[in-house]
Amino acid sequence: MSSEPARDSAAASADTSKCPVPHGAQGMLDETSKAVLTKLAQSRSENITSLGAETIHPFLAAPSQRDYTEACTYWDYIHPETLTSLQSGREGKGLNHHDEHLFIIVHQVFELWFKQVLHDLDYTIETLLSPDARRDEWHLATSRLRRAHEILRISMPTFEALAKHHDPQDFLEYRWALSPASGFQSAQFRILELRFGITEKQRKCEFVGDYRDAFITKLADKTQVFDEAETQPTLKEAVMSWLDRIELDHLDTFFTAFLDAKSAEHNHQISELRAALDELDAVAPSIDVDAKLLKQMLHKEKRNLAARIEASTEQWHALERFYADPRLGRARKAATFLLTFRHYSNFIDLADTVQHALDFEAAFVLWRTHHARMVERMIGRRHGTGGSSGMDYLDDTTRYRVFKDLAFVRSIALPASMFPSVVSLFD
Q: Of the candidates 237, 188, 241, 187, which has an alpha carbon nearest to the alpha carbon of residue 214?
A: 187
Query: How far is the C-alpha of 136 from the C-alpha of 148, rounded, in Å?
Result: 19
**Count, residues in the chain:** 427
Taking the alpha carbons of 369, 370, 374, 375 in that order, is the dihedral positive or negative? negative
Could you report how far apart the first and last alpha carbons of the chain are, in Å? Answer: 78
Would you state the pLDDT for residue 31?
76
Query: How far is the C-alpha of 150 from the C-alpha of 360, rounded, in Å?
Result: 8
Query: How far is the C-alpha of 197 from the C-alpha of 233, rounded, in Å?
Result: 8
Asked if residues 384 and 179 have their Cβ atoms less than 8 Å apart, the reply is no
Mean pLDDT, all residues of the chain: 86
On whether the pTM is more than 0.85, the answer is no
Q: Of the candidates 175, 181, 210, 209, which has an alpha carbon nearest to the alpha carbon of residue 194?
A: 210
Contacts 24+ apart (CB under 8 A), 48-57: none
Is the pLDDT score of 110 beyond 60?
Answer: yes
The separation between CA 29 and the C-alpha centre of its own chain, rounded to angstroms, equals: 56
Is the pLDDT score of 93 beyond 90?
Answer: yes
The mean per-residue pLDDT over the stretch 124-141 comes to 96
Is the pLDDT score of 263 beyond 70?
Answer: yes
What residue spans define the domains of the chain? Answer: 90-247+349-417, 251-326
Flag the least confident range among 126-140, 220-234, 411-425: 220-234
Query: How far is the C-alpha of 278 from the C-alpha of 304, rounded, in Å?
Result: 14
pLDDT in tens, 148-186: 999 999 999 999 999 999 999 999 999 999 988 888 889
Q: Of the candidates 391, 375, 367, 362, which has an alpha carbon nearest to the alpha carbon of residue 157?
A: 367
Asked if residues 223 and 112 have their Cβ atoms less than 8 Å apart, the reply is no
Q: Which residues of 224-233 are buried (b: 16+ CB within 10 A; e: fewer)?
A: eebeebeeee
pLDDT in tens, 23-53: 444 555 677 776 766 666 566 555 554 444 4
Type of residue found at 400: Y
Would you state the pLDDT for residue 155?
96
Q: Of the candidates 175, 89, 134, 157, which has an alpha carbon nearest to the alpha carbon of residue 380?
A: 175
At the top level of CATH, which class does the domain 90-247+349-417 belong to? Answer: mainly alpha
